[in-house]
A = this chain, B = another copy of it.
């Protein structure tokens, strides 16, 4: 037997009982915190599986090692395996010149292969197909803008799901997305089994990272762009003509707000969108501390801004709000726990929480959110952060009914504020 741990409460197994006023049955209340110094413990268990584990432990670690040394060794090995996996999952700043200013162990992002949408598509956005996955906040941005701009028929979508082997998989028998039931389904453009195979169809092939969101030219069999912000800017500004149906009719990046939107993105991207990943993927305490401070200082600042402004840039949502929203809607659901964003839940920020409800209550936005898929995706896929693979219970505040409650943020709109002001004078 090998790993030792303190804090382990030891007591006799207790049957689960209910409070019953008249019961006189007394169960013992035995508990204490142990350090498991297991190789030398006087366990008398005769359970076969237990014996197998003990045997495996002895085989791996030897019978002669003193328990403390054994525990230290297991701990070191486990930690080393974690760092090795994390270095592959999340490149750290020690391997990136651009992130040299960050603490060692900080998460740094690789570059992308198809960073922009060629200008010709803006004038003639035909035969395009969108590949997304529901857990991914970056793909979610594209789904939100597609819904807000009324592009559901102009831009068909195929939804992949994370596979146990780390690839994005299509579900051949899942629902097709014609009816906009946002569940993983088949590849509607190329009838492939994995996104990797789709990337491989382009002329010249592809051996890079197969990421979502990905915009695909179904006629030319070519990847158009796999950079989320470039895709949402494109969807907002391209001329889809008669193919637009429904949607909010909003320009999400009006020219008079463009600088303000860019300024918000420059704050929100590194500290919030990427900030939660910098917390979760930090490989040193120093890197985590820097990330978590940046994240919560920025959330504090936005909380304050949203006390007097309905959306980030005034009375209507913009691309900056879309980018903020897809991180906030995942905050209590996954980042608070899995990425150790523990200082506060979103629920503890009244304005940010109300703002998230406000965004969610735009029908087109709510239609893009799938809480189950988000939780499954993160907890199933990021196994170095969740070694047991157990999916926690969904936080009670993260559901459609609670997010649909009144938020009273309409009162922050300029027109409402003006009419209140007028009635007071």
Contact = CB atoms under 8 A, between A and B. Distances in A.
Given A85-B74, A384-B387, A9 B109 contact: yes
Contacts of A7: 133, 135-136, 162, 377-378, 381-382
Contacts of A289: 393
A33 B388 contact: no
A319 B330 CA distance: 40
Given A5-B89, A267-B17, A344 B396 contact: yes
B35 A195 contact: yes
Contact of A229 (B30, B38, B91): B30
A101 B16 CA distance: 10
Question: Which of A101, A227, A382 lies at the interface centre, i.e. has the most chain B CB atoms within 10 A of its CB?
Answer: A227
Nearest to A75: B383
A166 B5 contact: yes
A13 B344 contact: no
Contacts of A17: 266-267, 270
Contact of A390 (B43, B109, B293, B340): B340
A24 B96 CA distance: 26
A306 interface: no
A296 to B, nearest CB: 7
Contact of A37 (B162, B210, B378): B210
A31 B138 contact: yes
Contact of A393 (B69, B71, B284, B292): B292
Contact of A12 (B16, B94, B109): B109
Interface string A9-23: 111111111111101
A425 interface: no
B381 A111 contact: no
Contacts of A168: 6, 35
B135 A10 contact: no
Copies of this protein in the complex:
2
A391 interface: yes
Contacts of A382: 5, 7
Given A271-B16, A387-B82, A211 B33 contact: yes
Contact of A9 (B9, B49, B274, B340): B274
Among A20, A35, A164, chain B packs the most CB atoms within 10 A around the CB of A35
Interface in A109-131: 109-112, 115
Contacts of A285: 389-391
Interface string A131-158: 0010111110000000000000000000
Given A343-B396, A388-B82, A164 B75 contact: yes
A421 interface: no
23 contacts: A2-B85, A2-B88, A3-B383, A5-B382, A7-B377, A8-B89, A13-B109, A15-B101, A19-B264, A20-B263, A29-B230, A30-B228, A31-B229, A31-B273, A32-B138, A32-B212, A32-B213, A42-B207, A53-B87, A57-B84, A337-B337, A342-B393, A345-B345
Given A9-B277, A32-B227, 14 more contacts: A6-B135, A11-B111, A16-B270, A19-B267, A27-B266, A30-B228, A43-B110, A50-B87, A78-B85, A81-B387, A82-B388, A288-B392, A296-B393, A348-B396
